[in-house]
C-alpha cells in the first residue's frame, strides 16, 4: 500500500510543482461548449459543485500508532463514477475500459473514527476489554473494575512500549503489576505485546506461567494487569554469587528446572508455540516460592512442530541450528532445550558458559563450529550430582536430532527426583530477597520488548 501511494505521489510532484490530476469528470468548459451562453452561469456552478463532490479532496490520514503513511499525499478519488447523471456513484455501471486510470492512487476513504477508537481496534486484544474491565484474581474472585479502582504504588519498570507500575486493587487488596502500553507503540512492539498477552490469557491454568488478571483501556492506552513477582532469576543469581559470595543449592536449581520445563511443555502441548527466548531474566521468583516463566512476546507458532523465524530471541542463548546461516530449514522446541541448558549452566556456576564475543562471527564460530559447553561435577568450585551434570549436558547436545524434547526431559532422573523432593523454596528465596533489600539491590527487571 505504501509503495503504491509513494509511486502515485511521484506522479503528482515531479518537477517541483503539483499539476492538477487528469480530470475524468465534466468541467466548466465542457458545459460551456454544449450549452447556450444564457445558461452558462447556472451550469458552471452546478458542474463545479458536482466535480468537487466527486473528487475527495479532503482525504485525511488514518489514525493509529506512529506516523500516518498518508501524510503529505495529494487529493485522491475514493470512487470512480462513469459520468452517468441521476445515479448514485455506487449504483453507476463500471467502465468497460480495462485501462488503468492515470494519476488516481487507491487509498482508503476518509475515516471519521477517533484516535481512541482506532487505538482499541489496533490493539485487537479482545472485545471484552473496555474502559471498565473484568479482573479475575482467583477462580472465585471476579470484579468489574476501572483505573479508579487501582492505587498506584510506583513504577517498577520501563520499556519502549511504556511503563510497568506496582498497583493494588482496592476491593480485593490484590497487589499486581500493571503494564501500561502506550497507544503510540510501533507495529513490531505491538505484535510482541499482543503475542505476550495472548499467551498469558490462555495459560492461566498453568501454575508455572505468570498469571493474567485482566485488562482495560484508559485514554487510548491499554492497561494489562498481571501477577506481581518479586525478582528475576538473572538478578537473583548474580546477587547470590557477587554479593553473598555463595552458590545456589542444587535442590533449588532442581525446582527452577522443573518449573521451566513444565511451562515450556505446556506452551508446546496446549498452545502449539515455542518460547524462543529462554534465559534467566525471563524466569521469575517470589517470596511464596513460586517460579514462573514470562515474556512471550517473540514466541512463535509451530507449524508441523517447526518454527522458521530466525532473528527472534537473545542471541547468546540461541541454539546452533538457529544461528547457522547454512541451515535452510526451521527448528523446533529443542532449540529452547539448548537455551535452557545454557541458562542452567550459567546460574549453577555463576558465569555465562562462553567467553565474551566481540562480534557475531566469533559467536558463529564458537557455537556452530566449536564444541558445546560441558558442565563437570566440580565446576568453578561447585560440587554437582551426576544427575544434574547429565541433565545439563543432555540439553547442550550440539546435534539437534540427538537433543531430547520435553517429554524425554520430564522422564530424566534429575527432573523426577527434583519434582518429588520436599524443598522449602519460599524460605530460601525470602532470605535472599531480604538480603537484596538490605543491600539496596534492584529486584525488578524490565526487558525491552
Q: What is the DSSP letter of 351?
A: S
397, three cell numbers: 547436545
Q: What is the DSSP letter of 58?
A: T
CATH of 231-438, one of 3.40.50.1950, 2.170.190.11, 3.40.50.300, 1.10.510.10: 1.10.510.10
The answer to whether the CB of 357 falls within 8 A of the CB of 383 is no
Any residues with CB less than 8 A from the CB of 283 and at least 6 apart, and which? 232, 233, 256, 259, 260, 291, 292, 293, 294, 343
**How many other β-carbons are positioned within 10 Å of the β-carbon of residue 80?**
16
Domain ranges across the chain:
19-58, 116-227, 231-438
Distance CA 290, CA 284 (A): 8
Cα 243 to Cα 237, 381, 432, 441, 444: the distances in Å are 10, 17, 11, 10, 17
DSSP state of 243: T
Q: How many CA atoms lie within 13 A of 112 on its CB side?
A: 0
* CB hemisphere CA count around 53 (13 angstroms): 11
Mapped onto helix, strand or coil, the DSSP state of residue 98 is coil
Geometric angle at alpha carbon 232, from 162 and 223, rounded to 5°: 30
**Of the listed 230, 277, 295, 336, which one is catalytic?**
277
Enumerate residue ranges in the chain where pLDDT < 70: 1-131, 160, 296-314, 325-331, 442-449
Q: Cell 522422564 appears where?
A: 411
pLDDT at 112: 47
| CA-atom Rg of the chain in angstroms | 30
Question: Contact, 6 vs 27, CB < 8 A?
Answer: no
Q: Which residues have C-beta within 8 Å of that of residue 139, sequence separation ≥ 6?
A: none
What beta strand segments (E) does 246-399 contain?
A: 273-274, 283-285, 291-293, 300-301
Phi and psi at 244, nearest 5°, equal -85, -15
pLDDT tens, 116-170? Answer: 555 554 454 444 455 678 899 988 899 999 999 999 999 988 776 778 899 999 9
Q: What is the CATH number of domain 116-227?
A: 3.30.200.20
Q: What is the pLDDT of residue 190?
A: 74
287 annotated ligand binder: no
The whole-angstrom separation of Cα 210 and Cα 263 is 10
**Residues 402-442: pLDDT tens digits?**
999 999 999 999 999 999 999 999 999 999 999 999 987 76
pLDDT on residue 159: 72
C-alpha cell at 285: 521468583
pLDDT at 211: 93
- In the chain, the largest separation of any two C-alpha atoms, in whole Å, equals 107
Closest to 204 in 3D by CA, of 277, 139, 257: 139
Find the length of the chain.
449
CA distance 269 to 25: 61
Rounded CA-CA distance 110/61 in Å is 8
Q: Are 128 and 416 in contact (CB under 8 A)?
A: no
Give residue 95's pLDDT. 46
277 in active site: yes
**How far, in Å, CA of 297 to CA of 302, rounded?**
15
pTM tops 0.75: no
CA 339/CA 335 separation, integer angstroms? 7
Amino acid at each position: 500500500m505504501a509503495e503504491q501511494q509513494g509511486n502515485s505521489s511521484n506522479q503528482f510532484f515531479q518537477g517541483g510543482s503539483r499539476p492538477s490530476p487528469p480530470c475524468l469528470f465534466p468541467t466548466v468548459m465542457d458545459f460551456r461548449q454544449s450549452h447556450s451562453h444564457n445558461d452558462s452561469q447556472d451550469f458552471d456552478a452546478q458542474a463545479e459543485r458536482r466535480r468537487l463532490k466527486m473528487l475527495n479532496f479532503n482525504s485525511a490520514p488514518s489514525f493509529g500508532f506512529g506516523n500516518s503513511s498518508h501524510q503529505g499525499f495529494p487529493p485522491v478519488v475514493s470512487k470512480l463514477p462513469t459520468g452517468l447523471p441521476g445515479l448514485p456513484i455506487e449504483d453507476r455501471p463500471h467502465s468497460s475500459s480495462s485501462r488503468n486510470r492515470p494519476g488516481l492512487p487507491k487509498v482508503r476513504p476518509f475515516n471519521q473514527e477517533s484516535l481512541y477508537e482506532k487505538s482499541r481496534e489496533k490493539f485487537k486484544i479482545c472485545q471484552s476489554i473496555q474502559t471498565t474491565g473484568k479482573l479475575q484474581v482467583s477462580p472465585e474472585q471476579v470484579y468489574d473494575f476501572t483505573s479508579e479502582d487501582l492505587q498506584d504504588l510506583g513504577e517498577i519498570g520501563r520499556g519502549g512500549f511504556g511503563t510497568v507500575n506496582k498497583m493494588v486493587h482496592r476491593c480485593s487488596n490484590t497487589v499486581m503489576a500493571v503494564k501500561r502500553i502506550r497507544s503510540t507503540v510501533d507495529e513490531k512492539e505491538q505484535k510482541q505485546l499482543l503475542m505476550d498477552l495472548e499467551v498469558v490469557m490462555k495459560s492461566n491454568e498453568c501454575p508455572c506461567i505468570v498469571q493474567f488478571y485482566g485488562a482495560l483501556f484508559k485514554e487510548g492506552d491499554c492497561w494489562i494487569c498481571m501477577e506481581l513477582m518479586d525478582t528475576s532469576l538473572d538478578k537473583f543469581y548474580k546477587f547470590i554469587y557477587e554479593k553473598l559470595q555463595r552458590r545456589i543449592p542444587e535442590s533449588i536449581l532442581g525446582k527452577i528446572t522443573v518449573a521451566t520445563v513444565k511451562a515450556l511443555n505446556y506452551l508446546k502441548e496446549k498452545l502449539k508455540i515455542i518460547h524462543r527466548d529462554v534465559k534467566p531474566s525471563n524466569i521469575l521468583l517470589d517470596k511464596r516460592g513460586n517460579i514462573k516463566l514470562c515474556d512471550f512476546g517473540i514466541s512463535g507458532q509451530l507449524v508441523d512442530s517447526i518454527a522458521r523465524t530466525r532473528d527472534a530471541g537473545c542471541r547468546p542463548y540461541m541454539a546452533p541450528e538457529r544461528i547457522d546461516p547454512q541451515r535452510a530449514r526451521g527448528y523446533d522446541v529443542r532449540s529452547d532445550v539448548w537455551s535452557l541448558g545454557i541458562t542452567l549452566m550459567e546460574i549453577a556456576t555463576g558465569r555465562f558458559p562462553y567467553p565474551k564475543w566481540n562480534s557475531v562471527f566469533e559467536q558463529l564460530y564458537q557455537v556452530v563450529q566449536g564444541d558445546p559447553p560441558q558442565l563437570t561435577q566440580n565446576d568453578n568450585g561447585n560440587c554437582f550430582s551426576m544427575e544434574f551434570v547429565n541433565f545439563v549436558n543432555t540439553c547442550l547436545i550440539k546435534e539437534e536430532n540427538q537433543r531430547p524434547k520435553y517429554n524425554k526431559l520430564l522422564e530424566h532422573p534429575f527432573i523426577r527426583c527434583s519434582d518429588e523432593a520436599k524443598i522449602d523454596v519460599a524460605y530460601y528465596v525470602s532470605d535472599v530477597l531480604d538480603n537484596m533489600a538490605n543491600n539496596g539491590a534492584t529486584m525488578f527487571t524490565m526487558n525491552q520488548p
